[in-house]
Amino acid sequence: MAAEARSAPAPKTSGMNRKTLEALTGYLYVSPWIILSIIFTFGAMLYVLYLSFTDLKLLNTPQLIGFDNYVRVLTPFAWPWETWVHPEKSFFWNAVWNTVIYAAVVTFCQTWLALILAVILNAKLIGKQFFRIGWYIPSVTSSVVISLIFIWIFQKEGVLNYTLVTLFGWAGFQPIGWLTDAAAHSALPALMLLNISTTAPTFMLYFLAALQDVPEEIYEAASLDGCVGVQRFFKITVPMLRPIIFLVVVLGTIGTLQIFDQAYIMTAGGPLHQTETINYLIYTSAFTNFDMAYASAMAFVLFVLIFSLFLVQNRMLGGSNTGQ
């Protein structure tokens, strides 16, 4: 009887206690991140949502005013007297248009450029380590520094115009102020070129890591079936990288819709509001016009826009078909 007592299995409650203890230990380790996220992410979002329903300017005590700020934001056009009182109101939909066009062009171009660069660097090339480092350096440089460098490049007497005049002067090309010439409508494309060239190398590393995980046997089998070259790229490589493409597109869209620093440093929203983005308008409304409540409403509209686009992208590129 004593031997049977010693060999009896331990009560199940001890196992449950051990699992509970392990779970609590895990939560304890991640608790700093959870607490900081609750306070500075979700807490801040809820506070901004609350402010968007108030009349907070700068130092006044906020009072609830309902959906007035959202009506101001979403009204397509402002009456003349409203434009005088709230000049930023007539520019909101222009900022939405600028931001969406910028996000669509930059996300598309930087995704494909990053994928092409990754495919090139994944091949057996001499000196590919040098090119990896060379292409990636702009991505780890401060956006402020990069913006100042590109201001010099885009000047009327800058490197870009000098190069274009040298190459196409015979065709009558004349230097333009890429960031200042409103008639040329070149300021927003210049910001696009800056972002594409500095962000694509980061996503290139994502694709490069994914390409190195693709089994070589798949390419060998495709070669036996006559699938080579460009055909292999679109029928084998791109479908195999679909989860990473989804990740890159989502990250690129979120980042481009929140563009601020380049527009602030390089153009200040100009010329003639051609590079005024939603984030830049939020900044000027909050810290120039001191209309915190209106800026909060625009910030929440931007959040809804980003989240809606994420759902669309998840439907088209992600979901249950991601791994196929």
Give CA–CA dist 264/268, Å, rounded.
Answer: 4
Q: Are 52 and 70 a contacting pair, CB within 8 Å?
A: yes
Structure tokens at 141: 């440089």
The CATH number for 122's domain is 1.10.3720.10
For residues 232 and 167, membership in a common domain is answered with yes
Report the candidate in 92, 272, 63, 279 with the shortest Cα–Cα distance to residue 188. Answer: 272
Q: Are 305 and 93 a contacting pair, CB within 8 Å?
A: no
In a domain, 113, yes or no: yes
Structure tokens at 320: 């249950």
In a domain, 256, yes or no: yes
Report the candidate in 283, 282, 286, 274 with the shortest Cα–Cα distance to residue 94. Answer: 274
In a domain, 1, yes or no: no
For residues 44 and 133, membership in a common domain is answered with no
pLDDT attached to residue 319: 55
For residues 119 and 33, membership in a common domain is answered with no
For residues 189 and 303, membership in a common domain is answered with yes
DSSP assignment of 99-139: HHHHHHHHHHHHHHHHHHHHHHHHS--TTHHHHHHHHHHHH
For residues 25 and 147, membership in a common domain is answered with no
In a domain, 202, yes or no: yes
pLDDT attached to residue 323: 43
DSSP assignment of 165-177: HHHHGGGT-----
For residues 127 and 38, membership in a common domain is answered with no
Q: Which residues contact 117 (CB under 8 A, 6 or more apart)?
A: 135, 200, 201, 204, 207
For residues 123 and 223, membership in a common domain is answered with yes
Burial class (CB in 10 A: 0-12, 13-18, 19+), 153: middle
> Token pair 């992410």 is at which residue?
41
Q: Find the Cα–Cα–Cα–Cα dihedral 187, 101, 108, 167, rounded to 10°.
A: -30
In a domain, 83, yes or no: no
- The residue segments making up the domain with residue 40 are 12-51
Give CA–CA dist 298/91, Å, rounded.
Answer: 12
In a domain, 59, yes or no: no
For residues 313 and 255, membership in a common domain is answered with yes
For residues 238 and 309, membership in a common domain is answered with yes
* Average pLDDT along the chain, 324 residues, taken 10 residues at a time: 52 66 89 89 92 91 93 69 51 90 96 92 76 78 90 92 92 91 93 93 91 83 77 85 93 95 93 93 92 94 94 80 44
What SS3 state is found at 92?
Answer: helix
β-sheet bridge partners, residue 54:
64
pLDDT attached to residue 78: 47
For residues 47 and 96, membership in a common domain is answered with no
In a domain, 227, yes or no: yes
Q: Are 31 and 265 a contacting pair, CB within 8 Å?
A: no
Give CA–CA dist 118/245, Å, rounded.
Answer: 12
Structure tokens at 229: 């070259």
For residues 180 and 278, membership in a common domain is answered with yes
Report the candidate in 278, 295, 296 with the shortest Cα–Cα distance to residue 48. Answer: 296
Give CA–CA dist 262/259, Å, rounded.
Answer: 7
For the question of whether the overall pTM of this predicted structure is more than 0.95, the answer is: no
The number of folded domains in the chain is 2
In a domain, 72, yes or no: no
